């Protein structure tokens, strides 16, 4: 008899557990084809690694990821993808967005759809103000630029700086952020040089020569990672600016891990500020990088986009657990306000006021390791950096009256 | 269809008389478009984008297919229209949608006229490169003038007024957008159909086939080309304006080579110089791209590429040309 009751109650418990195994549908929007495919892959793999390494945290929920290609930064494809994820697939949460214009175009749809939407990359500062359902686990362009301004004045002891930037929004944002904090810390930006667009790689010689002639202490550069950054470091080397005593600095976007090795020895000595690099020395990151290399090959590496996706999934899982899989948007947002997490990039949290991320920024220098590869050596860090654009209410980041 | 009897035994006169008569089959695409509205209410966002591409392709067909103006920069006019609506709405100068279309058409037409005056002195590859340059210049202007155009991030959350003051543009369920765009497309299509079947339209075809001869018969070739280019630009401007209104959003992509090249592919795929080429091409290309990219988010372009290679190899006149080739034996037999 007792056995039977036990068996029955066990069966009951089992069926209850099964009933509790809520499935949570997540729509993932990123460019999986075209020039952004390399970045979309980082999102894809970051999500995959989170699911693999944290299977125990997901239980008893079942996550279903529905991927959609948003193709290009036109906004239209992204918007249609979000529309259909919400109305056809009835997803419980949205995630992704590499390109800022796509997140901007999707904002009204996200607001109308009333679902949690986690931005895993798009870095234009004011995006999080565009929909109350946006939560960002990546960065704002202001994080690194602002921190670098402070570090350049305090740690690198620079008095004068020249800013060279690719003439598109991330470049302009970086310039504004760097200038504001560098000058607040007693430095002076003596010249601002727009260095062509983000599409093609220009010849950087005239821009860098102009900077060299004015003899600043540091040259702060924002250009797209990869070929642009490579061309800048090579030109910097060829013009002998290092010997002239001008330090080349920038946000960590220009030393994106997946592009770093291709930059070659010209990149050695480059000093950058960012919230993540694959060489960060902490237990979470070691685990993350090791799992990554095991799955995708020894030459592959996660970068800041992958970690944005990893933490984005962590945020969604946290919200899903807090709402027991129901993913009611308001409850999910409440669960994420002030949420703290130990990420591969170190401790992070979500600012309850802005729904943007608060994280550490690391000052690093590119060095050549014993293995012949380039690594990023830690020089210093700034704890708990907020998005300064919203904190100081600059331009479009100011709350609309 | 109540056919008016043609009182002539001359087969040529007969052929001319019946050639442009309205046929019942021509209502089919419009009925299908309406049926789509009821059958697939969850796909209307995609449907709206598709209809806008159709309109854009028709405008290109007028310049490229009929008048033989080889252009790779047609997005210049799409973008001019889109930015006109976008900037007027963002700065709250003009937010009414229907009249906005007319303003956009006027601006895009003016850009077309001004650039046509210069560009249409050239032909062939030179023309191709110059149209591309014009588009590139406009794109860079939109990028540089970030204060008014929003630069790379574009203008977002455009406050477009409800259609006729009643029907709201809902971002999540774009019912209004779809029917609105369908209506505008129908009007523009009828206009273009009338135009290309008019004597003026035939003179365009004449210029495409043999410019020297048209000069010889005394046709004002250059003026007609400029007028055609202007009209085509104005319609492209309407398409751009619709895009901006339906998405409540404009960014640099409306002036991009991507858009100009896609519409060219769409037109070549469907068959240029045929009224329905743009429609068939847009439907084939976009439906395939949409569903392939949904099913295989990382490898869908392979399928599309194979289709384009097949079309280029085996169907030089596009899908409609292929249909023509296949049905020709049957038609000839019927004619005998």
pLDDT tens, residue by residue, B23-50: 888 888 899 998 999 888 888 889 999 9
Is A133 in the same domain as A16?
yes
pTM, to two decimals: 0.84
pLDDT band at B158 (very low <50, low <70, confident <90, very high): confident
**Closest Cα in chain B to A30:** B297
Residue B16: both structure tokens together:
């001319």
Domains held by chain A: number: 2
Total length of chain B: 336
CA distance A357 to A340: 10
pLDDT band at B157 (very low <50, low <70, confident <90, very high): confident
pLDDT at A315: 94
**Closest Cα in chain B to A122:** B153
User: Greatest CA span in chain A, whole angstroms?
Assistant: 93
Half-sphere exposure of A129 (CA within 13 A, CB side): 18
pLDDT at B282: 92
CA distance A58 to A314: 9
**Residue A27 pLDDT exceeds 90:** yes
pLDDT band at B150 (very low <50, low <70, confident <90, very high): confident
CA distance A325 to A322: 8
pLDDT at A53: 92
**Residue A2 pLDDT exceeds 70:** no
CA distance B213 to B216: 5
Q: What number is the average pLDDT over the span B60-76?
A: 91
Which has the minimum average pLDDT: A168-177, A328-337, A363-372?
A168-177
Residues of B at the A interface (Cβ-Cβ below 8 Å)?
Answer: 42-43, 45-46, 49, 140, 143-144, 146, 151-154, 156-157, 170-174, 243, 247-249, 251-254, 256, 258-259, 293-294, 297-301
For residue B79, what is the enclosing H or E element? helix B75-90
The answer to ipTM > 0.85 is no
Q: What number is the average pLDDT over the span B182-199?
A: 92
Alpha helices in A246-324 (DSSP H): 257-263, 283-296, 304-322
CA distance A226 to B294: 29
Integer CA distances (angstroms), A312 to A32, A93, A264, A308, A389, in order? 18, 11, 32, 6, 21
- Work out the mean pLDDT of chain B and round it to a whole number: 87
pLDDT at A8: 56
Which residues, including other chains, have CB under 8 Å from residue B89's CB and lie 6 or more apart? B95, B100, B155, B158, B159, B160, B244
Residue A64's φ and ψ, nearest 5 degrees, are -120, 120
Is A256 in the same domain as A388?
yes
CA distance B259 to B53: 9
**Residue A104 pLDDT exceeds 70:** yes
Q: What number is the average pLDDT over the span B166-188?
A: 88
Residue A199 lies in domain = 142-274+360-397
For residue B118, what is the enclosing H or E element? helix B97-119
| Better pLDDT: A212 or B316 | A212
Distance, in angstroms, between B280 CA and closest chain A CA? Answer: 21
Q: In what order do the strands lie in the sheet containing A93-96?
A: A62-69, A23-30, A93-96, A116-119, A134-136
Residue B226's φ and ψ, nearest 5 degrees, are -65, -45
CA distance A363 to A52: 30
The CA-based angle A321-A326-A328, given to 5 degrees, is 105
CA distance A41 to A113: 26
pLDDT at A399: 67
pLDDT band at B8 (very low <50, low <70, confident <90, very high): low
**What is the DSSP secondary structure assignment for residue A278, as one 8-state letter?**
T
Is A220 in the same domain as A261?
yes
pLDDT band at A305 (very low <50, low <70, confident <90, very high): very high
Residue A339's φ and ψ, nearest 5 degrees, are -60, 135
* Rounded percentage of chain A residues whose pLDDT exceeds 90: 49
Contact between A104 and B154 using a beta-carbon 8 Å cutoff: yes
pLDDT band at A5 (very low <50, low <70, confident <90, very high): low
Is A59 in the same domain as A167?
no
Name the residue among B330, B276, B198, B327 with its Cα closest to residue B25. B276
Distance, in angstroms, between A251 CA and closest chain B CA? Answer: 20
Q: What CATH number is given to the structural domain containing A332?
A: 3.40.50.2300
pLDDT at B1: 43
Which has the minimum average pLDDT: A149-153, A382-386, B329-333?
B329-333
Integer CA distances (angstroms), A171 to A209, A254, B34, B212, in order? 20, 11, 46, 52
Beta bridge partners of A66: A27
Q: What number is the average pLDDT over the span B94-111?
A: 92
Contact between A168 and B143 using a beta-carbon 8 Å cutoff: yes
Per-domain boundaries in chain B: 36-335
Q: Which residue has the tokens 């040089």?
A: A193
pLDDT band at B5 (very low <50, low <70, confident <90, very high): low
Based on the number of CB atoms within 10 Å of its own CB, is B99 exposed (0-12), middle (13-18) or buried (19 or more)? Answer: exposed
Residue A76 near residue A104 (C-beta atoms within 8 A): no
CA distance B170 to A348: 36
**Closest Cα in chain A to B293:** A69
Which residues, including other chains, have CB under 8 Å from residue B187's CB and lie 6 or more apart? none
| Better pLDDT: B11 or B142 | B142
Interface test with A, best of B41, B46, B171 (most A CBs within 10 A): B171
Count of beta carbons in the 10 Å neighbourhood of residue A247 = 20
| Better pLDDT: B324 or A65 | A65
Interface test with A, best of B39, B48, B246, B249 (most A CBs within 10 A): B249
Residue B171 near residue A108 (C-beta atoms within 8 A): yes
Is A247 in the same domain as A196?
yes
CA distance A75 to A78: 5
Contact between A79 and B247 using a beta-carbon 8 Å cutoff: yes
Q: Which residue has the tokens 């007693």?
A: A186
Which has the minimum average pLDDT: A189-198, B18-27, B175-184?
B18-27
pLDDT digits (tens, 9 = 90+) for A328-365: 999 999 999 999 999 999 999 999 989 999 999 999 99
pLDDT digits (tens, 9 = 90+) for A34-76: 777 888 899 999 999 999 999 888 888 889 999 998 888 888 8
Which has the minimum average pLDDT: A9-23, B46-60, B170-184?
A9-23
Of A76, A88, A112, which is closest to B171 when you measure between CB atoms?
A: A112
Give chain B's end-to-end CA distance (angstroms, integer).
23
């Amino acid at each position: 008899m007792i056995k039977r009751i036990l068996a029955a109650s066990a069966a009951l418990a089992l069926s209850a557990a099964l009933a509790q195994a809520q499935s949570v549908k997540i729509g993932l929007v990123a460019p999986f084809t075209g020039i952004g495919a390399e970045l979309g892959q980082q999102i894809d793999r970051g999500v995959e690694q989170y699911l693999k390494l944290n299977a125990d945290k997901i239980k008893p929920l079942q996550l279903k990821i529905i991927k959609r290609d948003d193709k290009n930064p036109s906004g239209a494809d992204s918007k249609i993808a979000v529309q259909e994820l919400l109305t056809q697939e009835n997803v419980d949460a949205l995630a992704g967005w590499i390109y800022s214009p796509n997140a901007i175009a999707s904002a009204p749809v996200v607001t109308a759809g009333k679902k949690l939407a986690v931005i895993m990359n798009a870095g234009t500062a004011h995006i999080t103000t565009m929909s109350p359902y946006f939560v960002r686990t990546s960065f704002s362009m202001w994080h690194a630029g602002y921190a670098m301004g402070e570090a350049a004045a305090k740690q690198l002891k620079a008095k004068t700086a020249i800013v060279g930037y690719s003439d598109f929004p991330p470049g302009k944002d970086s310039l504004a952020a760097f200038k504001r904090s560098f000058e607040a810390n007693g430095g002076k930006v003596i010249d601002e040089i727009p260095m062509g667009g983000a599409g093609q790689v220009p010849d950087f010689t005239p821009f860098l020569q102009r900077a060299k002639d004015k003899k600043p202490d540091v040259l702060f550069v924002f250009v797209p990672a990869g070929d642009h950054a490579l061309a800048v470091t090579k030109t910097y080397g060829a013009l002998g600016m290092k010997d002239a005593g001008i330090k080349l600095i920038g946000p960590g976007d220009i030393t994106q891990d997946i592009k770093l090795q291709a930059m070659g020895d010209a990149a050695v000595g480059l000093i950058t500020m960012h919230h993540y690099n694959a060489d960060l020395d902490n237990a979470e990151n070691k685990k993350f990088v090791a799992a990554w290399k095991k799955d995708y090959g020894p030459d592959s590496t996660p970068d800041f986009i992958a970690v944005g996706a990893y933490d984005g999934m962590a945020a969604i899982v946290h919200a899903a657990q807090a709402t027991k899989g129901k993913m009611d948007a308001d409850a999910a947002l409440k669960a994420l306000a002030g949420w703290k997490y130990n990420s591969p990039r170190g401790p992070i949290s979500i600012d309850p006021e802005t729904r943007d991320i608060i994280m550490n920024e690391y000052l690093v220098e590119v060095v050549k390791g014993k293995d012949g590869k380039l690594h990023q050596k830690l020089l210093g860090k700034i704890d708990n950096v907020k998005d300064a654009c919203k904190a100081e209410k600059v331009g479009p980041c100011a709350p609309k009256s | 269809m109540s056919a008016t009897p043609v009182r002539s035994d001359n087969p040529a006169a007969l052929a001319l008389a019946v050639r442009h008569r309205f046929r019942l089959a021509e209502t089919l695409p419009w009925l299908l478009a309406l049926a789509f509205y009821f059958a697939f209410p969850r796909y209307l966002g995609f449907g709206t984008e598709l209809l806008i591409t159709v309109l854009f392709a028709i405008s290109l067909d007028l310049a490229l297919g009929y008048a033989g103006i080889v252009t790779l920069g047609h997005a210049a006019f799409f973008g001019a229209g889109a930015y006109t609506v976008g900037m007027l709405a963002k700065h709250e100068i003009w937010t009414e949608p229907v009249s906005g279309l007319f303003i956009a058409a006027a601006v895009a037409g003016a850009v077309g006229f001004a650039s046509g005056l210069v560009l249409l002195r050239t032909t062939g590859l030179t023309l191709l490169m110059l149209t591309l340059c014009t588009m590139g210049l406009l794109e860079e202007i939109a990028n540089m003038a970030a204060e008014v155009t929003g630069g790379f991030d574009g203008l977002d959350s455009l406050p477009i007024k409800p259609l006729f003051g009643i029907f709201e543009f809902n971002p999540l369920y774009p019912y209004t957008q779809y029917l609105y765009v369908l209506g505008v497309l129908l009007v523009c299509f009828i206009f273009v159909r009338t135009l290309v079947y008019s004597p003026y339209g035939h003179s365009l075809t004449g210029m495409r086939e043999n410019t020297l001869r048209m000069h010889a018969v005394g046709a004002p070739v250059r003026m007609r080309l400029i007028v055609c280019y202007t009209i085509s630009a104005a319609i492209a401007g309407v398409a751009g304006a619709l895009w901006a209104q339906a998405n409540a959003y404009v960014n640099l992509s409306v002036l991009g080579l991507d858009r100009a090249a896609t519409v060219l592919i769409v037109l070549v795929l469907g068959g240029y110089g045929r009224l329905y080429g743009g429609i068939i091409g847009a439907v084939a290309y976009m439906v395939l791209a949409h569903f392939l990219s949904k099913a295989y988010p990382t490898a869908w372009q392979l399928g599309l590429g194979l289709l384009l290679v097949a079309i280029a190899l085996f169907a030089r006149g596009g899908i409609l040309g292929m249909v023509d080739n296949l049905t020709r034996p049957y038609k000839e037999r019927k004619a005998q």
